[in-house]
Structure 1
């Protein structure tokens, strides 16, 4: 993901309402892997979180990051969009949120993490050939990498695709970012080739009345 794409993500972030004040169970923070509220698995996919160093790549306005911190994790969020970073800092001033590309943060950082997550974030919008070695290198032995995003939009259209962000101004030209679409089995093989073990990849079925599921991929750095 390039710095030049931050404008497109600002457009997207400005149009998003942000996380609601409480979920269906009345909780003020929660972890959501899917695009549907109160649906799908929770943060347990990442392992034990209390006291753990956790990195959220493409943390957006901070909803998942806030929950990781509430559970006792020493969590850091990275996002390319100044608009999204400002939203996160305004709602949760205690969060450690960095405005940077995922690749630059990983390449220049020295921290080791017990888990790295990306929910509809940098894992989907960064070339895996560039991102996966950086993620693998920053994980502690036995550390978990997990990410989620939509399954491929069209059968047979895999690899880099274009996502369009339409500015709200009348007549404004659309902005584009790249995303990387693969089927679950292909993502699993890509992670194995990148040195991850215990790899799983599945499509979580959508809630009743919705059409699009969520692809969830998980791998572990060998101990």
Structure 2
């Protein structure tokens, strides 16, 4: 089974996102694995007028929220089922498009640049950063923001997750690898889990130097 087929099988079995959150909002950005928990899009600064790329865009809900705030967005996911769901739910939004592609292949083949790149439990966690980060940097405008989240290192043990191996890093580890590939002002935060849960979320933000 190919990597794309494995992710597609996982996507087909995923639970659809709610139509509204606890506040009654129809769109929202969620960095963590828990509903209605953690920071919002404000860590990206104003997004109106900015071009946003999401690597591992899933059902498109996070990217769609940024588009409702005035961004234009392109979501890339390796699973064809993800693109189908995203188009069905968010295809009516102007300035938003989705494509099925593996992250490194997509970045190698296109020449567009972006002001913001997101990866929420997405490609940055599952692709070798020494391969992926230089490609991301080459497609970012100077001063652009890269932001991504994943589980803290070691929180699920050294084993395969979903359809691939994770590329865990400690906060210091992410700082070194990001600065080594053309990023600056690296900020790593560990978001505590909700009450009654044991595993938090690592959130990383860096600027394209």
Task: Compute the RMSD of aligned alpha carbons.
Answer: 1.7
Provide the rounded CA distance (Å) in 1 between the counterparts of 2:157 and 2:127: 20
Alignment of 1:1-223 (within 5 A): 4-94=2-92, 95-153=96-154, 162-163=160-161, 165=162, 176-222=163-209
Which structure has more strand as a fraction of its residues?
A: 1
1:155 CA displacement: 9.4
Q: How many equivalent pairs are there?
A: 206
Provide the rounded CA distance (Å) in 1 between the counterparts of 2:120 and 2:157: 23
Contact 1:55 1:113 in 2 (8 A): yes
Contact 2:155 2:199 in 1 (8 A): no
1:138 CA displacement: 0.8
Match of 1:169 in 2: none
1:153 CA displacement: 2.6
Unaligned runs of 5+ in 1: 166-175
Give the TM-score normalised by the residue count of structure 1: 0.88
Provide the rounded CA distance (Å) in 2 between the counterparts of 1:155 and 1:184: 17
Contact 1:47 1:144 in 2 (8 A): no
1:91 CA displacement: 1.1
Provide the rounded CA distance (Å) in 2 between the counterparts of 1:179 and 1:126: 8
Following superposition, which runs of at least 4 residues in structure 1 exceed 3 angstroms of deviation? 154-157
